[in-house]
Structure 1
């Protein structure tokens, strides 16, 4: 099953059966223990259902029981849908319904979320990962454990992740085993990961970069170490105690480690590799990190969910860039690149980045969402990323900004139109416009709204019921009417200028 995503775990199992596969919350699981738990959970779930479901939801945080839950979902041979317990129940329900989830595997962090989902009308069979929780609705039966993972085809969907949607509902992105096989094949050629490596696992399991963490580590027989929130008070200490050699996070984490004094010169000597993705990476942040981890190779990774985790890479050697940002880099081999101007014309030097190739997913779960994002040219299917880039000497790409109303907030991709729609749904609001402004190395969202002067605290409370916490706007400004540009459209640039923090 070399084409199966779970085949990477089996490869690690063959190398490191008795070594730790994951460390979290002061405990750990060896490869053999994790494998056996996943087989037990997968077999118990399949035995309890009348037929193998098309999709299994994995409602899990980042505690130790999350990892057998996720692996069990893959071992069933079904499509796995990672679900974040901290998300609003109404949003999670939308994801469950859109992806056809017929059963849930839940970990120790999921009890409050399950109660909230039940109140939302979600009534699915639930299997708990072993961890001391009450008797699950689906019993865990040793006699039902699988002898091996259920076979899958390369074209089968391995997992579905959800991104922000301009319609006000999340868009499902199905990623096949073939997509991940190409991706991890390239990574195996590029990197020298081995059983002695220890990877951080900073990303939530519903974030595509977590797939990099898990299956780069497990494919090498290496160990995942999950930093708890308090580790950021002294990240060098956590890295030293766990012997961490591979770091991966959003660039925003650099600012957090800096604020807690963790970027002292040579403070993180164990790191061999440092990866950043999810946001633009500044040369200043990269330089500060490299000074603190002088033995580490630093790479900036780029890629939307629709292109399977990351699809471009730049290895930073300390060079500066005209815009002060580390380049997006070179697109992975086997992919075609087009740069499109405002009218759809092709450009050799600058434009919206469009990519075709084996990492590109077939489209969204709902084909209606494909419009404006996927197109055919030269006999290939391209994806419009919405990112504006410039082609530098040597063919690498430099990131210039977004061409649309999509932004990254602490690594979470969000359509500003989705926030607008959510705010319009709040009592007393007539219309709303959301803008993004620079803040603390990332961006924060500011909402301008018309209608009644609703208190900011009330709006934030309403939005927490429908939006992920990371994208709840920080500020709310009531206006009598929106400014208009000469074309009589809402002048977002003027609103962004009003919202921008004062220059220091």
Structure 2
């Protein structure tokens, strides 16, 4: 594979175009392409000095210069970048390090503290804090099928699933969105996603591939987001739709408030028509697109341009359509309703990953059809007039809350591991997790403490309710419908 088609090559395009141009803004710090490049090459030099054949480099750092340089440094070292979060539980991080077979770990201050807690879990792993070796001059060569990065998604077995995305997968995607949106060095991109979320890869390398600027959006900025967008001159916005709901609640989406945006992209959870309408009024000069796609299909695999009233007419349950597959991808509908135009969305093509880190996780996630391998998204869609796809919901118990993708079964598995829990059911109702449990453990706070050692904060249920027994339906199965009605009836009451 030529270096012009690796993930790193997109950053190097921006570097070659204007090395003194600002590549990254994090808080009050600004970094030119030249400065960020040097930091990345220094980290790569340190990693390669310790292990010249390194293939997997973890990046355990808070969003900041070290995290971005670490990601780029892994690519310079010819390795796959594995983003990790210092705030994740130690046990979960240890599972990821083991699954990815990480050989070197780039850390910042927060990551170094977490690394000390990991202790023996890092046996044989080179931990890089302050590089002292000479920076590399060039990147080690990689092949199209080599993983560029590895992301971890929630797994139904009680452990996270590793998804290796190849240079070929992501290069195809970046070329598609560049062709579609015409990014240029005048564009200023938002970064609302943590590096452990694959949508962050879009922000970084779509920006750097055209010589644009990437601006990290801190949590505090959402309280006055229109002012932040104007101050930094943002032209490309990308986030989960939950941001719109938050701004609507704070009454901060007045017409024309986001007039500086030329492009607004949303992905990670269903985009509601009412939210699209509200954002479009505020970003009146912006083209709004709804993107859809799991990590296994590389960032996003379909796209819909919001154009009412046509978009509203194509929507189902008030959800903006997810559109059509990107060039180079094909889809089929699977299941009993497929001939009538409704079924599970299955996709194949240049962006589909070859499989999970653990081949055992492939079972049930891929479909062999007419001699080809297709990824099963687990999402129910309907083919609409004109070929657009409308999203109808999940076929399994995987949910997406606040842009965080999670398996309810993983949370249940973690709960069953808590002392005094005999059985449990976790449900997502109105974008809120509720856990019902049976057992001797009487206090919800004890369960929260136990889960905090296993799960990220976003996956810990807000409400807990203890039952004498889980209800059963006429078939003797756990009556999840009855529990869902019970959770909905609680109406966001206090956790117990």
Question: Quick check: 1:324 aligned with 2:335?
Answer: no
**Counterpart residue number, 1:366:** 358
For 1:203-238, what per-residue CA distance to the aligned partner results, in whole angstroms no more than 9, with x for missing partners?
000101000000100001000011111111100111
Listed as ranges, the matches of 1:311-460 within 5 Å are 311-319=301-309, 320=312, 321-342=315-336, 346-438=338-430, 443-460=431-448
Unaligned runs of 5+ in 1: 129-135
**Counterpart residue number, 2:69:** 68
Deviation, structure 1 residue 61: 1.9
Report if the CA contact (8 A) 1:390-1:397 is conserved: yes
**Counterpart residue number, 2:478:** 490
Report if the CA contact (8 A) 1:193-1:220 is conserved: yes
**Counterpart residue number, 1:228:** 218
Report if the CA contact (8 A) 1:63-1:109 is conserved: no
Deviation, structure 1 residue 454: 2.5
**Counterpart residue number, 2:451:** 463
Report if the CA contact (8 A) 1:234-1:260 is conserved: no
- In 1, the alpha carbon distance for the partners of 2:224 and 2:338 equals 48
Quickly say closer, same or farther: Cα 1:161–1:315, change in 2 above 3 A.
same
TM-score (normalizing by structure 1): 0.94
Report if the CA contact (8 A) 2:54-2:77 is conserved: no
Listed as ranges, the matches of 1:42-121 within 5 Å are 42-49=44-51, 51-118=52-119
Listed as ranges, the matches of 1:292-307 within 5 Å are 292-307=282-297
Unaligned runs of 5+ in 2: none
- In 2, the alpha carbon distance for the partners of 1:45 and 1:341 equals 48
- In 1, the alpha carbon distance for the partners of 2:282 and 2:301 equals 27
Match of 2:461 among 448, 451, 473: 473
TM-score (normalizing by structure 2): 0.95
Deviation, structure 1 residue 118: 2.3
Question: Quick check: 1:251 aligned with 2:252?
Answer: no
- In 1, the alpha carbon distance for the partners of 2:444 and 2:245 equals 27
Bigger Cα displacement from structure 2, 405-414 vs 494-503: 494-503
- In 1, the alpha carbon distance for the partners of 2:30 and 2:39 equals 13
Report if the CA contact (8 A) 1:61-1:84 is conserved: yes
Helix, strand or coil: the match of 1:203? coil
For 1:28-60, what per-residue CA distance to the aligned partner results, in whole angstroms no more than 9, with x for missing partners?
1100111111111101211123x4222110112
Helix, strand or coil: the match of 1:347? helix
**Counterpart residue number, 1:131:** none
- In 1, the alpha carbon distance for the partners of 2:452 and 2:376 equals 30
**Counterpart residue number, 1:40:** 42
Helix, strand or coil: the match of 1:6? helix
Report if the CA contact (8 A) 2:419-2:441 is conserved: no
Helix, strand or coil: the match of 2:279? helix
- In 2, the alpha carbon distance for the partners of 1:79 and 1:382 equals 24
Helix, strand or coil: the match of 2:195? coil
Match of 1:209 among 199, 220, 236: 199
**Counterpart residue number, 1:29:** 31
- In 2, the alpha carbon distance for the partners of 1:69 and 1:259 equals 37
For 1:15-37, what per-residue CA distance to the aligned partner results, in whole angstroms no more than 9, with x for missing partners?
22111100002011100111111
Deviation, structure 1 residue 120: 5.6
Helix, strand or coil: the match of 1:418? helix
Bigger Cα displacement from structure 2, 211-220 vs 483-492: 483-492
Deviation, structure 1 residue 108: 3.9
Report if the CA contact (8 A) 1:234-1:261 is conserved: no
Deviation, structure 1 residue 68: 0.9
Report if the CA contact (8 A) 1:95-1:170 is conserved: yes
Listed as ranges, the matches of 1:158-173 within 5 Å are 158-173=148-163
- In 2, the alpha carbon distance for the partners of 1:400 and 1:121 equals 43
Report if the CA contact (8 A) 1:203-1:210 is conserved: yes
- In 2, the alpha carbon distance for the partners of 1:116 and 1:264 equals 47
Report if the CA contact (8 A) 1:275-1:299 is conserved: yes
Helix, strand or coil: the match of 2:221? helix
Deviation, structure 1 residue 152: 1.0
- In 2, the alpha carbon distance for the partners of 1:108 and 1:317 equals 46
**Counterpart residue number, 1:156:** 146
- In 2, the alpha carbon distance for the partners of 1:80 and 1:411 equals 22
Quickly say closer, same or farther: Cα 1:293–1:325, change in 2 above 3 A.
same
For 1:333-357, what per-residue CA distance to the aligned partner results, in whole angstroms no more than 9, with x for missing partners?
2222111125xx7435001111111
Higher helix fraction: Structure 1 or Structure 2? Answer: 2
- In 2, the alpha carbon distance for the partners of 1:12 and 1:101 equals 29
For 1:299-356, what per-residue CA distance to the aligned partner results, in whole angstroms no more than 9, with x for missing partners?
00000000001000000013323421100110112222111125xx743500111111
Quickly say closer, same or farther: Cα 1:490–1:427, change in 2 above 3 A.
same
